Amino acid sequence: MKELKLMKGNEAIAEGAIRCGVDGYFGYPITPQSEVLEHLMAEKPYEKTGMVVLQAESEVASINMVYGGAALGKKVMTSSSSPGVSLMQEGISYMAGAELPGLVVNVVRGGPGLGTIQPSQADYFQTVKGGGHGDYRLITLAPAFVQEMYDFVELAFELSFKYRNPAMILSDGVIGQVMEKVEVDDYKPRWTNEYIRENFPWAMTGKTPDRPHVIVTSLQLEAAKQEAVNLRLQAKYKVIEENEVRYEKTMCDDAEYLIVAYGSSARISQKAIELAREQGIKVGLLRPITLWPFPSKAINEMSKNLKGILSVEMSAGQMVEDVRLAVGDNVPVEHFGRFGGIIPSPSEVVEAIKEKIMK
Amino acid sequence: MTEEIIIAGFGGQGVLSMGKILAYSGVMQNKEVSWMPSYGPEMRGGTSNVTVIISDERISSPTLNQYDTAIILNQQSLDKFESTVKPGGLLIYDPNGITHHPTRKDINIYQVAGTDKASELGNAKFFNMIILGGFLSIKPIVNSEFIEKGLQKSLPERHHGLIPENLKAIEIGKEIVKPINVLK
């Protein structure tokens, strides 16, 4: 049965984890996402579903605990904010290399360095262009509503296990801190060890007579074999790019101009397009829900009928590069952003539309 | 219907909890709501504010720079937010400690002497409910039965005994609200 709650985005991450049957959470507190761990501790899921909640000694420890749990075929996750997620990059690369599922939530704050505790979207490059070393990709979901913070935990695990690839929920301080209505599901039971043994032959479930020896590693010293690993990863990424693109279009049917924005910037931009349309400006919004794979095709197709595109981000201009790659020379693409923890106002975005793409 | 509200005052004045009660009441009445606090260093003392939006439709931006209503509880917040009220909008403030009163003529302005009334009643804790009552008397965006349900949801169970007094404080707020500038 569905139940209605008023929750912060961070609490919704925690609630989503408990209710979709996550096995373990390992994390270390950092503003603006500490409510994830706080809510988990308050809810005591170890008494409800048997889910483990552990405050690790550091972010490095957290991600390595996730690696360990994932190697057993368990649904395990961590969450942090920008400086903490930087510390996790080695572990994320190892997970991608060992083809382990798992979820990392980044509630982004302003950087670089320790930066500020206020919202930002300046970790886009780190998330979708690597962050860690090697040729790998991270399935990246960008929630814009508290409901999506809740829903995307389950979705991230679904995709992550389907493709044996780590997933990231890339949020920010706005969506982490805002309280909205959330419809929550009943508690789903965690997977049994039997289920994991039967469904995930790669998982380390103990050597039994009917099961071959399993090694989980990202190390392959022979170059030819490591190239084969890379080719397999690239083939997998291609399948993901073909099948898992998600986005939402708002007021695009008659649009002459388009805003591309994700997460909280998409919410602010939605208000901006409402205000702009009151002034007779025909502008629509395309909100990427998956940042990798990026909705390049959808943006490219739309761009042919547009006069200009504005990428709105709380960064100095990161996603705008992917928008430009998507549209080529079809139409001018400009960037508007505030950064370092400043949230742009809807009216600033309207002004940016006029100044940057309507000239 | 969409009502975009900023509530601002000192940390510890119950700014965030007033917003939460309003938001919960909206949920109980099956509205869309959003409650977005300023969570910077100011939450540790200093000024604190929260944006509450209550609507019949899906809410776009949870952060705004113009509001239908500003509920103001100290001078710094008045200085900061008076100019952000939309023309024709509403500004409600507690005159306690205010030396520079609002001057705009294109908005509705009301005073609710919540601080004085709460100390007169002997319980400073109900101050924010008195202010909330003042707001609801001018803009009854949620019905009182849903306010009661909102209080039940937002207060921890050990404080449920205080709900009747909270409701009474809201009623007192409705009685003492004082018009300063009312548009025709």
The beta-strand segments (E) located in chain B are 2-10, 32-37, 47-55, 67-72, 85-93, 108-111, 178-181
Burial of A236 (0-12, 13-18, 19+ CB in 10 A): middle
Summarize pLDDT for A182-196 with one digit per residue, the tens: 999 999 999 999 999
Residue in B32, B33, B60 nearest the CB of A267: B60
What pLDDT is attached to residue A207?
86
CATH architecture of A248-357: 3-Layer(aba) Sandwich (3.40)
The share of chain A scoring above pLDDT 90, in percent, equals 96
Q: Which of B16, B35, B60 to mutate to test the interface with A (most CBs of A within 10 A)?
A: B60
CA distance A249 to A259: 10
Domain range for B167: 2-181
CA distance A121 to A170: 9
Which tokens sit at B27? 């949920």
Question: A53: closest CA among A62, A132, B74?
Answer: A62
Provide the shortest C-alpha distance from residue A109 to chain B (in Å). Answer: 11
Domains A3-193 and A248-357 share a fold: yes
What pLDDT is attached to residue B42?
55
Owner of token pair 């049917």: A253
Rg, chain A, Cα only: 21
CA distance A32 to B40: 9
Say how many C-beta atoms besides its own lie within 10 A of residue A204's C-beta. 17
Least confident of A73-82, A99-108, A325-334, B4-13: B4-13
Q: Which helix (H) or strand (E) holds A171?
A: strand A166-172
What confidence category does residue A2 fall into, taking pLDDT thresholds of 50, 70 and 90? confident
More reliable by pLDDT, B40 or B96: B96
Provide the shortest C-alpha distance from residue A97 to chain B (in Å). Answer: 38
The mean pLDDT value for A221-244 works out to 97
Summarize pLDDT for B131-182 with one digit per residue, the tens: 999 999 999 999 888 999 999 988 889 999 999 999 999 999 999 999 999 9
Mean of the per-residue pLDDT values of chain A: 97
Question: CB within 8 A of A199, min separation 6: which ones?
Answer: A73
Which tokens sit at B92? 């409600």
CA distance A41 to A44: 5
- Is there a contact between B34 and A180 if contact means CB atoms under 8 Å apart? yes
pLDDT over threshold 80, residue A259:
yes
What pLDDT is attached to residue B124?
85
Mean of the per-residue pLDDT values of chain B: 93
Three-state secondary structure call for residue A262: coil
pLDDT over threshold 90, residue A351:
yes
Which tokens sit at A120? 């930002």
How far is Cα of residue B155 from the mean position of the Cα atoms in its chain?
17
What pLDDT is attached to residue B44?
54
pLDDT over threshold 90, residue A3:
no
What confidence category does residue A145 fall into, taking pLDDT thresholds of 50, 70 and 90? very high
- What's the domain count of chain B? 1
Contact (Cβ atoms closer than 8 angstroms) between residue A120 and residue A315: yes
The mean pLDDT value for A6-19 works out to 97
Say how many C-beta atoms besides its own lie within 10 A of residue A224's C-beta. 7
CATH classification of the domain holding B152: 3.40.920.10
CATH class for the domain made up of A3-193: alpha beta
Q: Which of B21, B61, B84 to mutate to test the interface with A (most CBs of A within 10 A)?
A: B61
pLDDT over threshold 90, residue A91:
yes
Say how many C-beta atoms besides its own lie within 10 A of residue A137's C-beta. 20
Provide the shortest C-alpha distance from residue A267 to chain B (in Å). Answer: 5
pLDDT over threshold 70, residue A342:
yes
Alpha-helical runs (H) found in chain A? 9-19, 34-43, 45-48, 59-71, 82-87, 89-97, 124-128, 146-163, 173-177, 193-199, 223-243, 263-278, 296-303, 319-327, 346-352
CA distance A277 to A268: 14
Q: Which of B22, B35, B39, B152 to mutate to test the interface with A (most CBs of A within 10 A)?
A: B39
CA distance A303 to A284: 12
Encoded amino acid at A317, one letter: G
Cα dihedral sign, B35-A76-A108-A237: negative
Contact (Cβ atoms closer than 8 angstroms) between residue A272 and residue A295: no
Contact (Cβ atoms closer than 8 angstroms) between residue A305 and residue A252: no
pLDDT over threshold 80, residue A323:
yes
Summarize pLDDT for B14-68 with one digit per residue, the tens: 899 999 999 999 999 999 999 999 876 655 556 889 999 999 999 999 999 999 9
How distant, in Å, are the alpha carbons of A119, B22, B90 from that of B147?
31, 7, 21
Q: Up-side HSE of residue B184: CA atoms within 13 Å toward CB?
A: 0
Three-state secondary structure call for residue A260: strand
Report the phi/psi class of residue A280: left, alpha or beta, with left for phi > 0 and alpha for psi in -120 to 50.
left
Provide the shortest C-alpha distance from residue B5 to chain A (in Å). Answer: 14
Backbone torsions φ then ψ of A141, nearest 5 degrees: -105, 135
Chain A residues 179-238 with a CB less than 8 Å from chain B? 179-181
What pLDDT is attached to residue B41?
60
The mean pLDDT value for A31-37 works out to 96
- Is there a contact between A271 and B36 if contact means CB atoms under 8 Å apart? no
B chain contacts of residue A267, beta-carbon cutoff 8 Å: 59-62
Cα dihedral sign, A136-A139-A144-A147: negative
What pLDDT is attached to residue B134?
97
Question: CB within 8 A of A50, min separation 6: which ones?
Answer: A23, A190
Contact (Cβ atoms closer than 8 angstroms) between residue A53 and residue A220: no
- Is there a contact between B66 and A347 if contact means CB atoms under 8 Å apart? yes
What pLDDT is attached to residue B47?
81
What confidence category does residue A208 fall into, taking pLDDT thresholds of 50, 70 and 90? confident
What pLDDT is attached to residue A28?
98
Which tokens sit at A5? 């709650």
What pLDDT is attached to residue A123?
98
The share of chain B scoring above pLDDT 90, in percent, equals 84
Q: Does A287 touch chain B (CB under 8 A)?
A: no
What pLDDT is attached to residue B13?
84
Chain A residues 92-121 with a CB less than 8 Å from chain B? 117-118
- Is there a contact between B32 and A181 if contact means CB atoms under 8 Å apart? yes
